Amino acid sequence: MIFTVAIDGPAAAGKGTISREVAARFGFAHLDTGLIYRATGRRVLAGEAPLEAARALEPGDLAAGGLRTPEVAQAASRVAAIPEVREALVAFQRRFARREGGAVLDGRDIGTVICPEAEVKLFVTASDAVRAHRRWLEEQAAGLGTSEADVLAELQARDARDAARAAAPMRAADDALQLDTSRMSIEEAVAAAVAAISDRMDRG
C-alpha cells in the first residue's frame, strides 16, 4: 500500500510529535524532513558549500549529534531558502513518501511542494507565545541557557524567513486540515490527526 501523510507547520507547533505518533499508530515509515536541512546546515557550519553539502548528504548524517541546536536550526533555515539546495533534496523526500507500506513526512512544504498528491495533508500550528515556551522548555532541559524572549525572537525570525522565501514558502496547502495545538494536549492533537487519516483510509 502506498499512502502518504504530509504534516507541515512552523517550529514547535507539535508536528514532529504528532508525526511520530501517527507513524507508530499506523505502522508507517516516518521522515522528519527538517533533519535533512539541519544535517545540511550542520555540514555548512563545518565549512562545506551549501549545494555540495546537500549533494553529499548521507543517511548517517540524519543521526548525527547536535542537529537540534539553535545555530544549526538557523543554518538549516538559511540553506532551505536556496533553490538549488532544495532541488538536490526533493528527490530523496519524494521517493520516501511513495514507498510501499505508507509514509509520514513532516516539514514546511510537504503538502504544497514535495507531495501535493499526498492522501492526507495536515498543517499544525500554535500561537507564537505557546511555541516559544515549548521550545524554551526543550532548551532548558537540554542545558541551554537561552532566554524565552530570545527563543521567541528566533522563532519569529525563522517563520518570517520560511514564509517569505521564493522557493517553496511555508504555507498550508489549500486542502490541508489545520490543527491549532495552542490549547490542545498531545493526546487531543494526535487523536484529531488519526481521525483524519482513518477517515481517508476508510474512503479508499
- Given a contact cutoff of 8 angstroms between Cβ atoms, the answer to whether 155 and 12 are in contact is yes
- Count how many residues are written for the chain: 204
DSSP structural state of residue 177: E
pTM, whole model, 2 decimals?
0.84
SS3 assignment, position 30: strand
- Given a contact cutoff of 8 angstroms between Cβ atoms, the answer to whether 90 and 80 are in contact is no
| Sequence ranges of the binding site for ATP | 9-17
| 145-161 pLDDT, tens digit each | 889 999 999 999 989 98
Domains observed in the chain:
4-195 (3.40.50.300)
- Given a contact cutoff of 8 angstroms between Cβ atoms, the answer to whether 114 and 79 are in contact is no
Q: Which helix (H) or strand (E) holds 78?
A: helix 70-80
Q: Which residue from 87, 91, 78, 86 is spatially nearest to 41, judged by alpha carbons?
A: 78
| 88-140 pLDDT, tens digit each | 999 889 988 999 999 999 999 999 999 999 999 999 999 999 999 999 999 89
| Sequence ranges of the binding site | 9-17
